Structure formats: C-alpha cells, structure tokens
Chains A and B, each alone.
Chain A
Amino acid sequence: MTRKALGLAGIAAALFAAPAVAHHAFAMFDQSKVLYLSGTVKQFEFVNPHAWLHVVIVNDKGNTVTWSFEGGSPSQLVSLGWAQDHPRVGETIEVGFRPMKDGSRGGQLMSVKFPSGQKVCSNRGCGDGTGEIVPGAYRPQ
C-alpha cells in the first residue's frame, strides 16, 4: 500500500515538475464556438507542453477518420480530473472542441464526456458555460 502510494506520488511529482509552457495564443482555433464529435479513443498522449487526444470518428460517408485535439498541459489536466489512462484507448467518448479555423481535422480540446455521463473540462471551463475555473470542480448544469 505504501509502495503503491509512493509510486502514485512519484508519478504526480513528475507531472507537476513539468513546465506549463503555453506557446500560442489559440488564434488558430475558432473561439466563437464549441463543436461536438463522438468516437473511439485511438490514443491519449499525456505529454508536455500539451496533451493530445486522438479519436477515430466515422464520418458521414461511413469512413473512419482520425481527429486530433490539443488539450492543456498534463499538470493542468490532472487538476481538472484527468489522468493518463482517463480516457482509455477503445473507449467511446464525446469530445467538445473549438475547431481549427482552416477546417483541419482537429481543434482545441475543451471537454470529454464519458458513457457514464461524467464530463471533464480541458480548460478554464468547458467553453460551453459548464465546468468551473476552479480545478476539479465541474458543476453539471
């Protein structure tokens, strides 16, 4: 138990030791809207400076395509209720995101809603009026 707790503490320390190095002004994302897509988690990269969530989505032609969403830093996400294995590969989720202005298959990750109904924000709030700026204090509407 102690060993497990120490291990978790070590992982947490490693995550929080990483820098919060925001690089851009998010101008490439359309800040006027939040869109939603449902799909299957292909990969969740819990990395600095920004986490990346890759989701396989079936488009309106019936083809599977991968969309990629840029989230906050791991330390920020942990404070908002995310974890390295949450979401998990193969899980079906609904992603809330601010789309790229040029129509590319991706956007700024704003939220993930799980089949259980749990929703986590990736930012200061989920961008749609839900969520809280206070870390980990999501408030369902």
Chain B
Amino acid sequence: MIPGVTMRILAFVVFAFLLAARPASAWEEYKYLDQGVAIQFPAKPEAMKSTHDSVYAKGLASMIYSAEDDHVLYRLTVVDLTTRADMGANFLNEAANRLQREGEVLFTDFPRVYQDARSVFGVSLVVDRTDGSRVRSSLYHHKGRLYIADAIVLPARGDKDMTTPSRYDQTIRFPPDGRFD
C-alpha cells in the first residue's frame, strides 16, 4: 500500500478512537450544608429558589439545583417541611404518586443512604413520560426536608440509555452525617 494512504488510514483510525475515548464528564460533589445535602453533578449546577405545591400545603419554600449534560437534566429539589415534619412520609409518597402518573413506570427500587441505624430509606422510580422524556427520580425525607433527585433524559438525546443518568441519585448524602464530614 502507498505509504501516504497508510498514514491517512492510520490517522483516521487514531482520530476515531480518540473521539470514542473522549473522557466521561467530570462528576464533582457539591455540598449544600444549609440544606443538609450533598450530591454530585457532571457540570456546575445553578441554584434557584422555587415553591412546592402539595394537597397539604401550597407554596412551600424549596431550592432547585440543576445542571444539564449530554441532553440529560440533573436536578435536585429540596423542599422545606420543617413546619410539617410529621407529614414527611405523605409528602414523599405524594410526590412519587404524581411522578408515576406522568407516564409508564418502568422500574421501582427502595434505595438507602448509609448503613445500619443511620440508614435513610427512600424510593426510586424510572418513568417514561408522555412528553418523550425518561426520568429516574429518587425521593428521600430526612430531618424535615423532602429531597427529590431527578435525572431527566430529554428527547433531544436520541436514546434513553440510563447508565449515566442512574449514577446521579446514587451520589446523594446528608451532611453532617457520614464519614466524609
């Protein structure tokens, strides 16, 4: 084979490998100590004040932290339930109930953060929404707050592979609990 052609083929093969070998996003933990939570994002998240409506109360103060990467929206919602801490289980189940009604439930799980007596149990759902998105959501109630960690695969992504999105909610923890702190 002509040396020049060989070099071009070799260069193309190397280029193709480098494209495929693009490093995965750099996941980094962000601590929100005032909200009692820490979670990893693949990109720097933005913070926004919001409100949460429930059948039990309207306009509950909440914070939303979100970042988008590869057409996946990663979003943590923290709802302040300190005045209604005894209703935590109902707020959590109500939010899960709303989510399951947004489309077809593909998967449920009951994850926990920490082990033994420190365990904080929650619920995870994967739902194919009627708007074409797929969401993996994990919900926890802990010390007077409702935490909802969503990874929303947007239709623009082209496929609904959940390998990377399923990583997000698993990184949640609740400082100052935990040996990281």
**Residues of A with Cβ closer than 8 Å to B?**
17-25, 27-28, 40, 42-43, 45, 47-50, 52, 54, 56, 64-68, 70, 100-102, 104-106
> Which of B110, B112, B167, B179 sits near A19, CB closer than 8 Å?
B179
Question: Could you pull out 20 A-B pairs where Cβ atoms are within 8 angstroms?
Answer: A17-B179, A18-B180, A19-B114, A19-B180, A21-B114, A21-B115, A23-B111, A23-B172, A24-B111, A27-B109, A40-B21, A42-B24, A49-B173, A56-B20, A56-B21, A67-B163, A70-B167, A100-B166, A102-B126, A105-B161
Provide the bound-state CA to CA distance between A43 and B108, in Å. Answer: 29
Most A-side CB within 10 Å, residue of B21, B164, B172: B21
Contact A106 B163 (CB under 8 A): yes
B residues less than 8 Å from A105 (CB atoms) = 161, 163
CB distance from A1 to the nearest CB of B (A): 31
Nearest CB in chain B to that of A50: its residue: B170
**CA–CA, A27 and B167, complex, Å:** 14
Max chain A Cβ within 10 angstroms of own Cβ: one of B16, B124, B161, B172: B161
User: Quick one: closest B residue to A20, CB to CB?
Assistant: B115
Contacts of B27 in A (CB 8 A): 45, 47
- Roughly how many angstroms separate A107 CA and B17 CA in the complex, as a whole number? 23
> Inter-chain contact count A-B, CB under 8 Å?
87
B73 at the interface (CB under 8 A from A): no
Query: Does B96 touch A at the CB level, under 8 Å?
Result: no
**Residues of B with C-beta under 8 A to A48:** 180
Q: Which of B115, B166, B173, B178 contacts A28 (CB 8 A)?
A: B166
Other-chain residue from A18, A23, A49, A52 in contact with B24 (beta carbon distance below 8 A): A52
B residues 15-30 near A (Cβ < 8 Å) are 16-17, 20-21, 23-24, 27
Range class of the B interface residue count: 20 to 34
Q: Are B162 and A100 in contact (CB under 8 A)?
A: yes
**Shortest distance between the CB of B168 and any CB in chain A (Å):** 11
Do A28 and B111 have beta carbons less than 8 Å apart?
A: no
- Tell me whether B21 and A104 are in contact (CB under 8 A): no
A10 to B14, CA, bound (A): 38
Contact, CB under 8 Å: B178 / A19:
yes
The CA of A25 and the CA of B161, in the complex, are separated in Å by 20
Residue in B20, B24, B113, B162 whose beta carbon sits within 8 Å of that of A102 in the complex: B162
Within the complex, the shortest CB–CB distance from B171 to chain A, in Å, comes to 6
Nearest Cβ in chain B — how far from A30, in angstroms? 12
With A64-B16, A68-B24, A101-B107 given, is the CB distance from A23 to B163 under 8 Å? no
